[in-house]
Amino acid sequence: MTQEPVFEQSSGNVFADLGLSDADELFTRGKIGIQVLRLLKKRNLKQREISELLGIPQPEVSHLMKGEFQRFSEGKLLIFLKRLDTEITLHLRPRDASGQSAETVISL
């Protein structure tokens, strides 16, 4: 007799599913970091060139290219996007839809 596999619905955030206390922060870093990697891979640059472009030492480039985004703050990853000629827009609004405040948009 074979046992049926057990599946669990994901929350959409693998870090939260794993029960990590800083899940939202890790998820945000991952989403930004993946975008940085996509842009860098499109340019087909050597690590030395990436180091100069992003203003970080070559060993840090190596960590970035391996997807070790936890080594970089969200702010630092956003700076990398700007240095890669990416327009960044932040939308700030209350989590609760019944909130009275208007949405705020910030372009960086």
Domains of the chain, residue spans: 14-107
Q: Convert the pLDDT of each residue in 7-57 to its tens digit.
A: 888 889 999 999 999 999 999 999 999 999 999 999 999 999 999 999 999
For 9-35, b/e burial (b = at least 16 CB within 10 A) is eeeeeebbeeeeeebeebbbbbebbeb
The pTM score is: 0.80
CATH architecture of the domain with residue range 14-107: Orthogonal Bundle (1.10)
